[in-house]
């Protein structure tokens, strides 16, 4: 069965550079979530999209932006990267979350800022 | 506001003995509850989810969890631990019927010894 695809799997960037992370949800899923997991930390919600509109916003820095495109894939754009942005970034997709639904997570993109 | 508390940051059991990972939730609305497992350097995998159909939920790999509304708990159990169960476990809560963010607990690291 198709799963959530994230690319790239690994990314190394220098401070002050920009990075773009991509997420391809499971077909027919209409909701995408982005999470950031720092070393030894639990995943922190960044932002979510439902039907290509931002549905919720968490602790996403102003340097980051995201969008969901007409084909439902999503991109997380990160500018002016800082060392503290080094983390595992997860994307998840679901049908509008509620009872009897579940969020499927991708394998994550490991971003290292040097 | 929704929140979830995992009462133990670290649990150690011997192989073949029962596992109990505790989770309490707080939500203004009827919750949807999930347990996810994360093996080292891996993505998040859904173990089980709570729906209103049954309070005792069976998941993959022999895990199960019981939803107890009176205690606002959703503890994860397994009768007999296996070495391959060693991982980080996250209890997750969200609202019913809305496209909203998932709130993660801080995680419980399960160690399985011989």
Q: What is the pLDDT along chain B (114 residues), one digit of tens a residue?
A: 678 999 999 999 999 999 999 999 986 677 888 999 998 877 889 999 887 778 899 999 999 999 998 899 999 999 999 999 999 999 998 775 554 678 889 999 999 999
For A87-111, how does the pLDDT look when each residue is reduced to its tens digit (9 = 90+)?
A: 999 999 988 755 456 788 998 999 9
What contacts B65, CB < 8 A, 6 or more positions away? B23, B33, B35, B48, B50, B56, B57, B59, B74, B75, B76, B77
C-alpha to C-alpha distance for A52 and B68, rounded to whole angstroms:
36
SS3 call for B26: strand
pLDDT for residue A102? 76
| Residue A97: per-residue pLDDT | 56
Q: Which of A44, A55, A102 lies nearest to residue B99, judging by beta carbons?
A: A55
CA distance B24 to B68: 9
CA distances from B44 to B1, B13, B40 (A): 24, 22, 10
- The per-residue pLDDT for B42 is 79
Do the Cβ atoms of A42 and B52 come within 8 Å?
no
Q: Does B22 touch chain A (CB under 8 A)?
A: no
DSSP string, A41-74: ---EEEEEEETTEEEEE-S--TTEEEEE-TTS-E
Per-residue pLDDT of A45-86, as tens digits, reads 899 998 899 988 888 999 999 999 999 999 999 999 999 999
Question: Residue A99: CA atoms inside 13 Å, Cβ hemisphere, count?
Answer: 8
Say whether residue B34 is in contact with chain A using an 8 A CB cutoff.
yes
Of A43 and B29, the one with more pLDDT:
A43
Closest to B49 in 3D by CA, of A81, A27, A41, A103 = A103
Contact by Cβ (8 Å): B92, B74: no
- Please give the full DSSP string across A69-90, using - where no structure is assigned: -TTS-EEEEE-S--GGG-EEEE
What span, in angstroms and rounded, lies between the C-alpha atoms of A37 and A108?
Answer: 9
**What pLDDT does B99 receive?**
46
* Distance of residue A37 Cα from the nearest chain B Cα, in angstroms: 11
Q: Does A92 touch chain B (CB under 8 A)?
A: yes
Mean pLDDT of the region A1-9: 88
Residue A42 pLDDT class (50, 70, 90 cuts): confident
Question: Is the CB of residue B51 less than 8 Å away from at least one CB of chain A?
Answer: yes
């Amino acid at each position: 069965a198709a799963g959530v695809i994230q690319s790239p799997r690994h990314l190394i960037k220098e401070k002050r550079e920009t990075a773009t992370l991509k997420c391809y949800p499971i077909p027919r899923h209409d909701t995408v979530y982005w999470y950031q997991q720092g070393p030894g930390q639990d995943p922190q919600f960044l932002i979510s999209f439902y039907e290509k509109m931002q549905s919720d916003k968490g602790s996403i820095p102003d340097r980051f932006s995201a969008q969901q495109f007409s084909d439902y894939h999503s991109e997380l754009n990160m500018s002016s990267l800082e060392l503290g942005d080094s983390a595992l970034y997860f994307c998840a997709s679901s049908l509008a979350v509620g009872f009897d639904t579940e969020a499927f997570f991708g394998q994550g993109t490991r971003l290292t800022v040097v | 506001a929704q929140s979830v508390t995992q009462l133990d940051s670290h649990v150690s059991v011997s192989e073949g003995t029962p596992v109990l990972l505790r989770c309490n939730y707080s939500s203004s609305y009827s919750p949807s509850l999930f347990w996810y497992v994360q093996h080292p350097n891996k993505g998040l995998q859904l173990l089980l989810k709570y729906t209103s159909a049954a309070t005792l939920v069976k998941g993959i790999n022999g895990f199960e969890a019981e939803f107890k509304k009176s205690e606002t708990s959703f503890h994860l159990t397994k009768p007999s631990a296996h070495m391959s169960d060693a991982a980080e476990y996250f209890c997750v809560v969200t609202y019913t019927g809305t496209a909203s963010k998932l709130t993660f607990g801080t995680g419980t690291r399960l160690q399985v010894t011989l």
